[in-house]
């Protein structure tokens, strides 16, 4: 069975002993008071497990956690259990982890109950058993566990108990301090998923989660400011939250921040900085970053790459990962090179057109109409151009008018050409010229039909 959330098996080592806030997948402090001497052992163990990198010694940390556990500390049991479960600096030992979680749970530790539920749900150190996992999560939830409430919310969604029950559990986890749950609530309110859309509540929960350290929530806040959803459009605030998320290594935020620097939105334009950020995100295999890095290379942006040939490598990688704009741009490069590259251009245009990318549909149609890289097929060209025009693309509408006027893949029809050119003519001088040309070719009997068809198209598309 697929894991519901990483919260099932992640422990922020040291938080249970040190009393730091618990968010997302971290465990809360145990309910039972540690035996005499255990507290100082936990503090020492924390230094070795989550202290300064130069001081970390996981073997020593485990030794101290186990000493605390031997003195009856549930927190020591939980931290040692997680080290055995995850193999943190030591060989994994699921059976040992299960035993320690069980002992901590027996002492009333919410973290122990939560961890024990994880072991049963994931089948780690024991047979997988969803019913027993849920039982332990409910016990942990009753004892005040935020991550247990979060996992129960996910279970409610998966088992068809309904969005309302899931929302209650997410809210419970969020009020207990789960940043992950707060971010989920924000997303639910933003999208109207299982609850009435409410950008005010979306902002509230994203902000709570971001303030608690959620990079994903900080990114979601930035998107609200970029789109003006429930807040005033504010690129400056967007940049602020993108930086917050980027500092935590959240790749989508790094990409969007790079775009802001590239375009000068909310910050002074800094192409060098944008390239650095794109490169950082591209190293993680992000297709959007690879696309922009390839675009910067192709345009000769400073520091993007040594030669334009490298641009194709970035674009090819992005295109292979399914990023449609990269497929389109790369196809354009191949088409411009011509020759043996034309079939490759055709293939890429087809892929992008299959995803509904209007520019690719237009160019693919033109290749069929002219027989570039493929056998000439005017009927296919006409069908593609009409599809694109009917989806509202002004360039395709203009070209469809051209097809009608020239009889490309269809009967010559000056009235249809006039109507489609009229629709495309707003802000497009070339379409206005085409409209006049079509009008000059109208017969006396087709003028009325041309005007009627033009009105119908304008009403249909301008009322959207």
Q: Which runs of consecutive H residues, i.e. helices, occur in 123-228? A: 130-142, 146-158, 163-175, 179-191, 199-211, 215-227
Give residue 65's pLDDT: 94
Q: What angle do CA 287, 316, 246 make, to 5 degrees?
A: 20
| C-alpha to C-alpha distance for 156 and 184, rounded to whole angstroms | 14
The conformation of residue 145, written as its DSSP 8-state character, comes to: -
149 within 8 A of 176, measured Cβ to Cβ? yes
| Among 170, 163, 158, 115, residue whose Cα is nearest residue 137 | 115
| Among 212, 156, 155, 154, residue whose Cα is nearest residue 183 | 212
Q: What angle do CA 336, 339, 341 make, to 5 degrees?
A: 65
Give residue 308's pLDDT: 72
The domain segmentation of the chain, as residue ranges, is 1-144
427: left (phi > 0), else alpha (psi -120 to 50), else beta? left
For residue 178, count CB atoms less than 10 angstroms from its CB and return exposed for 0-12, middle for 13-18, buried for 19 or more. buried
Burial 163-173 (b: 16+ CB within 10 A, else e): eebbbebbbbb
Q: What residues contact 395, with CB distance under 8 A and at least 6 apart?
A: 358, 359, 362, 424
50 within 8 A of 12, measured Cβ to Cβ? yes
Return the axis-axis angle of helices 414-424 and 429-440, rounded to nearest 10°. Answer: 160
What is the helix (H) or strand (E) element at residue 360, kind and residue range? Answer: helix 358-370
**Residue for token digits 């979680």?**
101
Measured from the Cβ of residue 201, the count of other Cβ atoms closer than 10 Å reads 17
- 134-141: long-range contacts, CB 8 A cutoff, minimum separation 24: 136/105, 137/113, 139/105, 139/113, 140/110, 140/111, 140/113, 140/114, 141/172
3-state DSSP assignment of residue 156? helix
Q: Which runs of consecutive H residues, i.e. helices, occur in 371-412? A: 378-390, 394-406
Give residue 29's pLDDT: 42
Question: Rounded to two decimals, what is the model's pTM?
Answer: 0.76
Tens digit of pLDDT for each residue in 4-38? 333 333 333 333 333 333 333 444 444 444 444 88
Measured from the Cβ of residue 380, the count of other Cβ atoms closer than 10 Å reads 17
Please give the average pLDDT of every successive group of 10 residues along the chain, which has 464 residues.
35 34 38 62 90 89 94 95 92 96 96 96 95 96 96 87 84 95 95 91 96 96 96 95 96 95 92 91 92 87 71 93 96 94 96 95 97 95 96 94 96 95 87 93 89 90 67
- CATH number for the domain running over 1-144: 1.25.40.10
Tens digit of pLDDT for each residue in 150-182? 999 999 888 766 778 889 999 999 999 999 999
| C-alpha to C-alpha distance for 280 and 29, rounded to whole angstroms | 37
């Amino acid at each position: 069975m697929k894991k519901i959330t990483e919260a099932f098996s992640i422990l922020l080592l040291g938080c249970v002993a040190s009393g730091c806030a618990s968010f997302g997948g971290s465990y809360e402090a145990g309910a039972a008071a540690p035996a005499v001497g255990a507290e100082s052992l936990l503090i020492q163990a924390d230094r070795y497990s989550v202290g300064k990198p130069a001081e970390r010694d996981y073997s020593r940390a485990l030794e101290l956690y186990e000493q605390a556990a031997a003195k009856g500390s549930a927190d020591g049991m939980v931290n040692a259990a997680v080290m055995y479960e995850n193999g943190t600096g030591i060989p994994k030992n699921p059976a040992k982890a299960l035993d320690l979680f069980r002992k901590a749970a027996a002492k009333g530790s919410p973290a122990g109950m939560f961890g024990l539920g994880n072991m049963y749900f994931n089948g780690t150190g024991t047979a997988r058993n969803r019913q027993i996992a849920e039982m332990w999560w409910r016990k942990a939830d009753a004892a005040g566990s935020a991550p247990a409430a979060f996992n129960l919310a996910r279970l409610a969604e998966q088992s068809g108990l309904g969005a309302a029950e899931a929302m209650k559990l997410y809210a419970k986890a969020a009020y207990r301090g789960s940043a992950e749950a707060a971010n989920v609530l924000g997303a639910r309110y933003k999208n109207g998923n299982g609850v009435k859309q409410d950008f005010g509540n979306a902002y509230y929960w994203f902000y709570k989660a971001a303030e608690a350290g959620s990079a994903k929530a900080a990114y979601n806040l930035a998107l609200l400011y970029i789109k003006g959803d429930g807040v005033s459009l504010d690129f400056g605030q967007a940049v602020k939250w993108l930086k917050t998320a980027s500092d935590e290594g959240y790749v989508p935020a790094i990409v969007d921040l790079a775009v802001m620097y590239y375009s000068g939105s909310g910050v002074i334009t800094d192409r060098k900085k944008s390239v650095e950020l794109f490169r950082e995100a591209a190293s993680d295999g992000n297709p959007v970053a690879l696309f922009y890095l390839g675009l910067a290379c192709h345009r000769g942006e400073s520091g993007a790459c040594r030669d334009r040939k490298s641009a194709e490598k970035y674009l090819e990688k992005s295109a292979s990962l399914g990023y449609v704009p990269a497929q389109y741009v790369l196809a354009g490069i191949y088409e411009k090179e011509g020759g043996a590259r034309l079939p490759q251009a055709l293939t890429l245009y087809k892929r992008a057109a299959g995803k509904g990318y209007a520019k690719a549909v237009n160019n693919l149609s033109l290749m069929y109409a002219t027989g570039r890289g493929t056998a000439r097929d005017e009927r296919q060209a006409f069908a593609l151009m009409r599809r694109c025009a009917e989806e509202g693309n002004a360039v395709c509408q203009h070209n469809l008018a051209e097809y009608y006027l020239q009889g490309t893949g269809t009967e010559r029809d000056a009235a249809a050409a006039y109507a489609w050119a009229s629709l495309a003519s707003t802000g497009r001088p070339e379409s206005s010229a085409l409209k006049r040309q079509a009008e000059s070719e109208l017969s006396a009997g087709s003028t009325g039909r041309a005007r009627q068809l033009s009105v119908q198209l304008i009403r249909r598309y301008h009322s959207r």
